[in-house]
């Protein structure tokens, strides 16, 4: 079992890193032929940095759009961020001071994460318009994340696993050794689902994460009268 999970995590990590890297490289290489920022837009690069920060940190456009989706989406993402930061403690030794500092927040953030996911799931089922646009994968993605959250919370709050051994296992993976992984059901489910998430990340809608940084309506500067913008393939037309 330990070997199986070790191989699974090596595979998942490669898929995530390479898949995401290739995708980001594709976005970065693809030219944007025209200036299409959604106006009013910042006229400077620092203004764009501020606009993008608001989008990424507080989901500004979503807030303007729909308060319910914002509330649940925000709870989920902030919860997930804190939980992920907390999880650093299983991969590093000695533990960085800020990981200790974030630990108590990370534990309770799991509830925010779970409530957010359940809220999004309920809306997807109950709101007619959102049900209409949902594919099986949209539900499964939420269920996958809910599964990760529930199995993790079960280990934290109800049936603790041998977390020291888990850490030894992952520190071992980082040094290309395979150590014994505890076989508690929650742990195996949790890790299996996490690996699944890592594998599908670069080939699914989870690409919205890197995608927003390459969204011309958000990252472009409003300066088209002052500065000529020309894509390489468009420059060819001028020859």
Partner 1 sequence: MAILDMDGEDGPKFIPDPLKIPKLACDSMADSAPYPAYPEHNMKLGFPGELLDNWQEVAIAKIGDLASKNRAFQVYLDACVKCGACTDKCHYFLGSGDPKNMPVARQDLLRSVYRRYYTFAGKYFPWLVGARDLTREVLDEWYSYYHQCSQCRRCSVFCPYGIDTAEISMAAREIMDTVGIGQKYCNEIIGKALEIGNNLGLQEKALRATLEDLEEDIEDETGVSVRIPVDEKGADILLITPSADFFAEPHIDGLIGYAKVFHQAGVSWTVSSYASEAANFGLFIGSYENMRDLALRIRRAAEDLGVKRIVFGECGHAWRVAYSFLNTLAGPFDFLDQNYPIPQHILEFTWDQIERGNLKFDKTKNDHLRLTYHDSCNVARGSRMGDKPGGQFEIPRNVIKAVCNNYFEMDRDTTKESTLCCGGGGGLLTDDLMDIRVKGASPRMTALQQVTQDHGVTHMAAICAICKTQFAKVMPKFGYERDSILSVHQLVSNAILLDGQITDDAPVPELEMANEEGTS
What is the rounded distance in angstroms from the CA atom of residue 121 to the CA atom of residue 140?
Answer: 10
Cα 185 from chain centre: 25
Q: Which residues contact 142 (CB under 8 A, 6 or more apart)?
A: 117, 120, 121, 124
Task: List helix spans (H) across 30-59.
Answer: 45-58
For residue 114, the minimal CB distance to partner 1 (Å) is 18
Give me 52's structure tokens. 């993008």
Taking CB under 8 A as the criterion, the residue among 32, 164, 174, 185 binding partner 1 is 32
Taking CB under 8 A as the criterion, the residue among 94, 97, 126, 136 binding partner 1 is 136
Q: How many residues bind partner 1 (CB under 8 A)?
A: 64
Classify 61 as helix, strand or coil: helix
Indicate whether 205 belongs to the interface with partner 1 (CB under 8 A). yes
Indicate whether 55 belongs to the interface with partner 1 (CB under 8 A). yes
Indicate whether 39 belongs to the interface with partner 1 (CB under 8 A). yes
Q: Between vectors from CA 153 to CA 62 and to CA 12, what angle results, nearest 5°?
A: 75
- Within 150-189, the residues that bind partner 1 by CB under 8 A are none
For residue 99, the minimal CB distance to partner 1 (Å) is 29
Taking CB under 8 A as the criterion, the residue among 103, 134, 179, 196 binding partner 1 is 134
Indicate whether 147 belongs to the interface with partner 1 (CB under 8 A). no
């Amino acid at each position: 079992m330990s070997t199986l999970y070790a191989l699974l995590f090596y595979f998942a990590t490669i898929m995530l890193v390479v898949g995401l890297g290739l995708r980001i490289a594709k976005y970065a290489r693809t030219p944007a032929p025209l200036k299409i920022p959604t106006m009013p837009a910042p006229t400077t690069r620092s203004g764009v940095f501020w606009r993008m920060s608001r989008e990424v940190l507080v989901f500004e456009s979503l807030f303007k759009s729909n308060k319910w989706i914002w509330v649940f989406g925000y709870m989920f993402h902030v919860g997930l961020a804190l939980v992920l930061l907390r999880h650093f403690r299983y991969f590093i030794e000695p533990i960085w001071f800020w990981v200790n500092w974030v630990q108590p927040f990370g534990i309770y953030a799991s509830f925010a994460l779970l409530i957010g996911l359940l809220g999004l799931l309920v809306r997807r089922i109950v709101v007619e318009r959102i049900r209409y646009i949902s594919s099986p994968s949209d539900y499964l993605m939420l269920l996958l994340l809910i599964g990760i959250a529930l199995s993790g919370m079960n280990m934290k709050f109800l049936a603790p696993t041998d977390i020291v051994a888990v850490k030894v296992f992952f520190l071992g993976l980082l040094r290309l050794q395979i150590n014994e992984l505890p076989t508690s059901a929650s742990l195996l489910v949790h890790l299996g689902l996490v690996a699944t998430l890592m594998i599908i990340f670069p080939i699914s809608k989870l690409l919205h994460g890197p995608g927003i940084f390459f969204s011309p309506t958000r990252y472009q500067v409003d300066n088209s009268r002052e500065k000529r913008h020309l894509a390489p393939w468009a420059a060819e037309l001028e020859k």
